[in-house]
Structure 1
Amino acid sequence: MKIIVERDYELMSRTVANLLLGEMFRNSRVNLAITAGSTPVKMYQYLVNAVKGRPYFENVHYYNFDEIPIKGTTGFGVTMSALNDLYFMPAEIRSENIHVLDETNYRHQDERIAADGGLDAILLGIGEDGHYCGNLPGTTKFEDGTTCVHRDAVPGMAETLAAEVGGDPDRAPEFYVTMGPKSVMQSKRIILFASGPKKAETIRKALFDPVTNDHPSSILRMHPSLTVVLDEAAAEGIKDEFHVKQSM
């Protein structure tokens, strides 16, 4: 495990973008699974500027690792809609390089990725409850591959799904799909990043507390190639537990 602490959100975002670009600069096919959400907003701005209009990145293929369908619609769900807005459309990524995971094909996701050569890297955020992808506490086990999680899996899930679709319970789905822990751990590299004081405690638990399904992201430190990128605020909880090199 390598831990990188940057001074602030902007520097952290630039570092993560550079790590992804390092994966992308290959002559062979590169398979990346990337995250939506608020944490990567600045990172995607850097990445768009680096990738847009450069045909030598056409070897890079992208996979979303979870999806929340929006009830009553036929288009993309929550995750793909966000990735389109944040990255795919601004960077003008070709549609043939985007491999959508949704409720119609999740049963074959792991086999599809394996047939494509496996994931070279997966970029993950982390929730305050320790979740990554759609692996919330109590919803999946470490041995699970890509799976479907129903809204009655844990208390409060119906409300969580409603919040994800703008707070309208009529648009909330009965389930979502996600790459499970087993699927994520099969990636050749994992990049985990977090920003802000609200993430400090969950980062400490993920990296230094016991490995447990109660804090799903704790399994990630068992990966042989895990890179964690934090800003100073998110690293506050680990500064006394692990010596990390801080950028100046």
Structure 2
Amino acid sequence: MRIYKTKDYEDMSRKAANVISAQVITKPDCVLGLATGSTPIGTYKQLIERYQNGDLDFSEVKSVNLDEYKGLPKDHDQSYYYFMYTNLFKDINIDLDNTNIPNGMEPDSDKECDRYNKVIESMGGVDLQILGLGHNGHIGFNEPEEVFEKLTHCVDLTESTIEANKRFFASADDVPRQAYTMGIKTIMQAKKILLVVSGEDKAAILRDALCGPITPQVPASILQLHNDVIVVADEAALSLMD
């Protein structure tokens, strides 16, 4: 595991974009595992800028997203498809047919999870998986549990996650209570993982994830067992690390 301390959010975004850019340049037809949330927005802006400057070409890239709310249509302004389209896809030359996100409108959880597992398998797995870190240690929507969930599954969101996400909705009552998410095994099968973390409010959970015991109560702690993890985090997020 390599940990890169950055000065601030902008510096974190730039360095994270460097890692992704290197992957795309080295393997133009790579499979990128993408994440949503506020943390990677700056990184995506950096990638857009580099594409517009002629430094990156996404025409052969394939992507798979970590998760999607169950029950939200693609055109809902809080769906993760909408997030990816507005924050990245529409401003680069990626083929939308090569982008993959769980279908939140499929009511049959088993059917959708099986479909998404097969999509990832058909691509030969993920070359570089981008991850954010939830306040309770979740990666994707893999919430603290008694065991590590292996493959794509439907998860009941915890109250802390609903609370964290309610700012994006009219009220907490409007936040979906379930989501489809890649499982821990799927994430860990990525050839390389990039974890991006920003802010003092993430310092305690980042310390627990990187230095604490490996436990499904802190899902991100499993990353300690992966052989190629890059952590890019700002000084505030790393403030409790020895």
What TM-score bracket applies, with the shorter chain setting the length? 0.7 to 0.9
Corresponding residue number in structure 2 for 1:244: none
Instruction: Note the C-alpha offset of 1:6.
Output: 1.1
Instruction: Note the C-alpha offset of 1:49.
Output: 1.0
Structure 2 length-normalised TM: 0.86
Corresponding residue number in structure 2 for 1:203: 206
Residue 26 (structure 1) aligned with residue 32 (structure 2): no
Corresponding residue number in structure 1 for 2:35: 35
User: Which one of the candidate residues 105, 114, 118 is aligned to 1:107?
Assistant: 114
C-alpha distance in structure 1 between counterparts of 2:129 and 2:35, whole Å: 8
Measured against aligned partners, the alpha-carbon deviations of 1:221-245 in whole angstroms (never above 9, x if no partner) come to: 110111111111111111x2xxxxx
Corresponding residue number in structure 1 for 2:96: 95
Segment of structure 1 superposing worse, 221-230 or 167-176: 167-176
Q: How many residues align?
A: 234
Instruction: Note the C-alpha offset of 1:163.
Output: 2.3
Gaps of 5+ in 1: 241-248
Corresponding residue number in structure 2 for 1:4: 4
Residue 135 (structure 1) aligned with residue 157 (structure 2): no
Query: Structure 1 pair 224/26, CA: closer, same or farther in 2 (3 Å)?
Result: same
C-alpha distance in structure 1 between counterparts of 2:143 and 2:86, whole Å: 25
Measured against aligned partners, the alpha-carbon deviations of 1:29-53 in whole angstroms (never above 9, x if no partner) come to: 2000111111112211111011248
**What residue identity is the alignment partner of 1:227?**
I
**What residue identity is the alignment partner of 2:32?**
L
Structure 1 length-normalised TM: 0.84
Corresponding residue number in structure 2 for 1:78: 79
Over the aligned positions, Cα root-mean-square deviation in angstroms equals 2.5
Instruction: Note the C-alpha offset of 1:182.
Output: 0.7
C-alpha distance in structure 2 between counterparts of 1:163 and 1:63, whole Å: 25
Is the 8 Å Cα contact of residues 5 and 235 (structure 2) preserved in structure 1?
Answer: yes
**What residue identity is the alignment partner of 1:4?**
Y
C-alpha distance in structure 2 between counterparts of 1:197 and 1:110, whole Å: 35
C-alpha distance in structure 1 between counterparts of 2:96 and 2:219, whole Å: 32
C-alpha distance in structure 1 between counterparts of 2:207 and 2:215, whole Å: 13
Corresponding residue number in structure 2 for 1:147: 153
Is the 8 Å Cα contact of residues 5 and 232 (structure 2) preserved in structure 1?
Answer: yes
Identity rate, percent:
31
